[in-house]
Amino acid sequence: MSNDNKNTYNFGMIGLGTMGRNLLFNMADHGFSVTGHDKSEKMLQLLEEEGKSHQLKGFAKIEDFIDSLQSPKTIILLVPAGKIVDDVIEEVTPLLSKGDIIIDSGNSYYADTTRRAIALKAKGLHFFGMGISGGEEGARFGPSLMPGGDKEAYAVVKDMLEAVSAKVNGEPCVAYIGPGAAGHFVKMTHNGIEYAIMQLLAETYEILKNGLGYDNGQIQQVFEQWNNGRLKSFLMEITKEVFLFKDVKTGNLLVDEIKDEAKSKGTGKWTSQIAMDVEIPLSTIDAAVAARNLSKFKALRLELENSFGKSAAIDAQADFVKDLEEAFYFAMVSAYAQGMHLLWRASDEFGYELNMAEIAKIWRGGCIIRAEFLQDIYQAYTQNPELQHLYQDEAIQAKLKKGLAGTRNVISKALQAGIAIPSFAASLTYFDTLKTGRMPSNLTQAQRDYFGAHTFERIDSEGVFHVDWSTNKA
């Protein structure tokens, strides 16, 4: 398409796949003048065809695309994370002027965002990373947005982002997250929590199907009932819908025809990796990441099932499903608590100045992990902005105490039956460890000093100590 009207558009999108197009349509719905660029002629045609009501058109030539934008030129990138982001930035940078803005809205690794921001600032360009959650539907009708970085650039796009974001009680699900790569770090953590909750739902399915012998209809009813109560969430909602979807090819429920090997794009892994780096345990999330990796060893799993046998049925009482609901709630709280604990540490470690209540608030709508429980998280951090861990909140403590017996019952009986519940089990062990005033780590320190002279500290005096463990034996 030739550029007949220079400096026409408020915002431009590079990357016109489904997410990019839908976000452009959303922006146009709210009265913003927008256009796009993509190297694919097919994507340009789809933009024009699907955007007829707003007469949306895109540009095949990057130069024409840049020329069409009003100053300061604001470009949003929705391309796959990694090298492609760097390639696009390298291509557009020579065409931009000081004060122009680039926004990376993909799932970029937070350290890459930090690097890019520093490099572009040196060239006089504004850059920030913005996490987007909500999938295709969210991009089209209202996502949760997590922008962080250059605050001056955020001010330019603030009104637009608030307009296109999801709304809860009339409040936009977007806020300035913090400096540097704060936006992408928060989105990465969001995805780690997402991995955990998805795994907990899968483990619940496993317990109901193989532990209790429920058929798909009964499983659907459990998820339906739970979604009408305190476990109401987007992931619970779509899970209950999965158990209603018939496969056109076989006539069976499609879920039964899907191969049991889970894929991932790496954001959950990043969450676990960086948590290890900053020494914040994410047991529930880590177990979920590992479970996806274990699922890929299909042939090995079948071989070992033949060697060791299948899991047994659970010896369950009449109220076992009620206990299972308690266990799910308990583990879900743990997943959110671990993610928020990581954000608490990152805020200090990287100077992100995170407002924890604000993050919970913008996650209440639009995003994949939106849930009723986020209101409890919001209240907890509103009452105590300095809260280190959600387990410290008295209201949440009361709910955990109430469901603890049922949680222990479900987890112990599932393990006795040989049913794999890595994230459920990790949640309980994490909780039990964190509430233990004196851990057996004194033995670990003794061992480290014995074989490596790594020293230890004493409970009765200050200082660092080392002894010769071969002497003074009892």
* DSSP-derived secondary structure for 344-365: HHHHHHTT----HHHHHHHTSS
172, β-bridge pairs = 167
300 Cβ neighbours under 8 A, 6+ residues apart: none
Mean pLDDT by 10 residues, the chain (474 residues): 62 93 94 93 92 90 94 93 92 94 93 94 94 91 94 92 95 95 96 97 98 97 97 97 96 95 88 97 98 96 96 92 98 98 97 96 95 97 97 97 97 97 98 97 96 96 95 83
Q: Which two tokens stand for residue 67?
A: 């020329």
pLDDT value of residue 346:
96
For residues 61 and 58, give the distance between their C-alpha atoms in angstroms, rounded to a whole number. Answer: 9
For residues 26 and 43, give the distance between their C-alpha atoms in angstroms, rounded to a whole number. Answer: 17
201 Cβ neighbours under 8 A, 6+ residues apart: 223, 235, 236, 239
Amino acid at 359: I
Q: Which two tokens stand for residue 448?
A: 């480290």
**Residues labelled as active-site residues:** 187, 194
DSSP summary character for residue 68: T
38 Cβ neighbours under 8 A, 6+ residues apart: 14, 15, 16, 17, 20, 44, 47, 58, 60
Element of type H or E holding 428: helix 422-434
**Domains of the chain, first to last:** 11-180 (3.40.50.720), 190-434 (1.10.1040.10)
pLDDT value of residue 3:
41
Look up tokens 């680039």; give the residue. 102
Q: Which two tokens stand for residue 308?
A: 């060791």
326 Cβ neighbours under 8 A, 6+ residues apart: 402, 403, 406, 407, 410
Q: What is the pTM of this model?
A: 0.94
pLDDT value of residue 474:
75
pLDDT value of residue 318:
86
